[in-house]
Amino acid sequence: MVKKERKNKKPVDLSTLSVFTTGQTAEVCQVSQQTIIRCFDEGILKGFRVPGSKFRRIPREALYRFMLDNGIPMDILELRKRTILVLDSNDHRRSAFIQKLAENEAIFEGPVLAESAFQIGWMVSNIKPDVAIIDASCLDVSGAYVAARIQNRRIRGQDDRLVSVHLVIIDEANKLTEVQKAGADKTFPTNVGFDQLFTGVCDLLQVSVQEGQS
């Protein structure tokens, strides 16, 4: 009997992942997979389950926090620059994002500026930003509709095709509750200032930046 040659699985670059399996998390933390599963089930390690399955997933930010809290070296992850996708009708906020991210280039890539609602879905799937900031006034549909659609795209396909994005929606004040229920991680009213918006983004990513340069 001729044995079929087994194809070697392409190794995954853990420093580029936004979402980790329990096995990948165990590899990063240098502990057993059962230890990671126990920490997940006890709420010590934050994460979520893939809809319709029992598979556990750990977002990058939750893994960072777990490693910091437990004194685990982060060499294997290294520092990956964060990408922010921005669709905003407010010229001041757009300009402020360009300036602020340039001032903190060790942490952020330059912002990806969307020009229309049409580009958003493609960019979320293909660029895979860490944060997508969407001004609902730029949309032909409601902010809640877009939040629900992007929520469905956050988890898809195989492990290396997972899409995980923090979603920030700017909308009219009376619509924010609906938008948050649809899947937005943070919501802001249309008159939100840049400083408050950027602070919210940093909170989501659990990063610290230079102060007083907005």
| pLDDT tens figures, 161-214 | 445 688 999 999 999 999 999 989 999 999 999 999 999 998 888 776 755 444
57, 29: one domain: yes
pLDDT at 7: 43
In this prediction, residue 125 carries a pLDDT of 75
CA distance 168 to 24: 28
Q: Is residue 78 part of a domain?
A: no
Greatest mean pLDDT among 23-37, 149-163, 199-213: 23-37
What are the start-end ranges of the H helices in the chain? 22-29, 33-41, 60-69, 91-103, 117-126, 143-153, 176-182, 194-205
| Residue 8 falls inside a structural domain | no
Same domain, 55 and 105: no
- What's the number of domains the chain is made of? 2
Distances (CA, A) of 197 to 8, 27, 181, 189, 191: 45, 35, 19, 10, 10
pLDDT band at residue 2 using 50, 70 and 90 as cut-offs? very low
Is the pTM for the entire model greater than 0.75?
Answer: no
Q: Do residues 180 and 121 both lie within one domain?
A: yes
Higher-pLDDT residue of 150 and 37 is 37
65 and 90 together in one domain: no
pLDDT(40) > 50:
yes
> The CATH number of the domain where 32 resides is what?
1.10.1660.10
In contact, 134 and 168? CB cutoff 8 Å:
yes
Whether 22 is covered by a domain: the verdict is yes
Q: Are residues 144 and 62 in the same domain?
A: no
Tell me the C-alpha distance between 163 and 152, whole Å: 10
Q: Are residues 96 and 165 in the same domain?
A: yes
Judge whether 212 lies within some domain. no
Whole domain around residue 146: which residue ranges? 84-205
- Identify whether 3 is part of a domain: no
Residue found by looking up tokens 């920030």 in the block:
168
